[in-house]
Amino acid sequence: MKYIYTILFILMSLVASSQTLLLFGGMDHDIFLGCINCNGYSDNSVWNEYSTYGNSNNSESIWNEYGDYGSEYSDYSPWNPYANYPPVVVDRGGNFYGYLTVNKYNPKRATIKLALIMCKYHEDIKDNVSEWADELF
């Protein structure tokens, strides 16, 4: 019986890790901000610096330090610890994984490893998106 539970746990972990994780921002979380666990070649990836969501000059990129979704002062940015509306992390089925936020005290902060890495190293990542993508994927 213990063996069956172990196998089920491993299978559930594999399924959870294979979910495409999407980022949505804005007051109503209706603005698509990209995929956080897609590789650096995907058009929707926050790790593709040539895409809408990975380009630090695009207004809908979390790496744009002057945009609503990347500024450390914006109410919609994951990098503002006081943001009232940080982006949400969800899968394609709409399952909520938490908020992408540097606010360690937010009880609904996303705790998946990739989200925590993004929050911890976001300043370095925004300057080296493709290098980080190569390391992570």
pLDDT tens-digit series, residues 47-75: 999 999 999 999 999 999 999 999 999 99
Phi, psi of 24 (to 5 degrees): -130, 135
**Model pLDDT, residue 5:** 40
- Give pTM, 2 decimals: 0.85
Higher pLDDT, 15 or 113: 113
CB 96, CB 23: distance < 8 Å: no
Contacts of 99 (CB under 8 A, 6+ apart): 78, 86, 87, 88, 89, 106, 108, 109, 110
CA 111, 114, 116, 119 dihedral sign is negative
Q: According to the model, what pLDDT value does residue 96 have?
A: 98
Looking at the chain, the whole-number percentage of residues with pLDDT higher than 70 is 87
